[in-house]
Amino acid sequence: MRRYFLAPLVLAALLVVLLLRPELMTPLLRLLAEPGQDLIYDRKPLMTLALWHLALVGAAGLVATVIGLALGILVTRPGGAEFMTLARMASNLGQTFPPIAVLAVAVPLLGFGFEPTFLALCVYGLLPVFETTVAGLRGVSAPVREAARGMGLSGVQRLWRVELPLAMPVILTGIRLSTVINIGTATIGSTVGAVGLGEVIVAGLQSGNTAFVAQGAALVALMAICAETALRGLGRLADSGALTRA
């Protein structure tokens, strides 16, 4: 188990160090900044911005995962198959409209800040979870389902004890994709007042400070890589059966 999470721990440690000691990036940022420009964003602590960024992505990811799982389970049950087209259209909605368009609609209704960005990320992160849930559950072979039925398991028991554990590696792939996408997408929330690392990028764009843009982009990219490697390790655990045994 340790080998699956060594790389994420190292990357997370590097991210924390750069958030607490951003001056370590000064030699590289100096190459990008114009003479006289600030190199390190110091209007707010970077750690505070990163924690808000993670909270936003985590909250939206949790909602998107719950809805995506529920819809995926619904349409793969005999009684819910007729809703497949409707569920797929709903989950595709986020990919049809870019997040900035969702923000443009949400801001007049929800105001500025956390709420419209949260809604945009929920909508945008739904599709990968839904599609991989459907693919994972449909990938459980008929003989396995029949064996579970022959053991006397009810439909709910077959779902929780057999189908979901077998489908979990595929489902985790969707959750991983959704999370990584939303870590990057959350940066646009700063354009409508959401607190996050997007503030650093937006401040750099507004002031023409390339060092700020590079600093914010590097921190967001490193955060996304940390999440991707951690969730990939979790997926490998699920694929090996370690999560099921636990």
The token duo for 15 is 């991210």
Within a domain: residue 18? no
Average pLDDT in the 80-85 region?
A: 84
Q: Is the pTM of this model over 0.85?
A: yes
Q: Which pLDDT band holds residue 242 (cuts at 50, 70, 90)?
A: low
pLDDT at 222: 94
Within a domain: residue 35? no
Within a domain: residue 238? yes
CA distance 219 to 18: 8
Average pLDDT in the 36-55 region?
A: 90
Name residue, tokens 């990163």. 50
Has residue 243 got a pLDDT over 70? no
Average pLDDT in the 163-178 region?
A: 91
pLDDT at 2: 61
Name residue, tokens 């060594």. 6
Burial of 112 (0-12, 13-18, 19+ CB in 10 A): middle
**Can you give the CATH number for the domain in which 148 is found?**
1.10.3720.10
Lowest mean pLDDT across 42-56, 57-71, 90-104, 150-164? 90-104
Within a domain: residue 36? no
Within a domain: residue 32? no
Has residue 99 got a pLDDT over 80? no
Within a domain: residue 14? no
Average pLDDT, the chain: 86
pLDDT at 49: 94
Tell me the per-residue pLDDT of 219-240, one tens digit each, with 9 for 90 and over. 999 999 999 998 888 888 777 7
Has residue 216 got a pLDDT over 90? yes
Within a domain: residue 136? yes
Tell me the per-residue pLDDT of 18-32, one tens digit each, with 9 for 90 and over. 999 999 988 888 888
Helix axes 46-75, 198-207, angle to 10 degrees: 120
Q: Which pLDDT band holds residue 69 (cuts at 50, 70, 90)?
A: very high
Look up the domain containing 218 and give its range: 46-245
pLDDT at 161: 86
Within a domain: residue 186? yes
Query: Which one is predicted more confidently, 151 or 16?
Result: 16
- Name the E strands within the chain: none
| Portion of the chain with pLDDT greater than 70, in percent | 96
- What's the structural domain count of the chain? 1
pLDDT at 36: 79
Tell me the per-residue pLDDT of 103-146, one tens digit each, with 9 for 90 and over. 878 888 888 888 889 988 998 889 899 999 999 999 888 888 88
The token duo for 231 is 């969730």
